Structure 1
Amino acid sequence: MMATFSGLKVFSATKAKEREELGQRITTWLRDHPELTVIDKTVTQSSDREFHCLTITLFYTQG
């Protein structure tokens, strides 16, 4: 069971270069928000014939 969360942040990327940079985007966001504690995450991948989308959702508490 997931702990209670106060917010979530969704990061997604469709293009290959965006997917390569996704980790750095998340790291930067976490550094910019030290008041948040990530308590859970989900990673979702979806695709069609042309595009592959990677989505990372972070669930957090404040304080």
Structure 2
Amino acid sequence: MDANGQSLVYVSARETREQADIAKVLTFDEARRIAVNVAKLPELLGQSKRGFRRKTRWHNLLGQ
């Protein structure tokens, strides 16, 4: 969820590769990796935990 309580991502998963293939979804391990990376997005985009934007190397490259 974001700072306003809005869900950002829903990921469907199953326990085994066979179950995931049948349902055409991810395994729990794959879904966990995606969730971890989504949780890192604010930091990667230059936002602190309080929502204040700080300059990152990416912003410097863009001249922002």
Q: Does TM, normalized by the shorter one, top 0.5?
A: no
More strand by share: 1
More helix by share: 2
State the structure with more CA Rg.
Answer: 2
Q: TM-score, normalized by length of structure 2? A: 0.34
Higher relative contact order (CA 8 A, sep 6+): 1
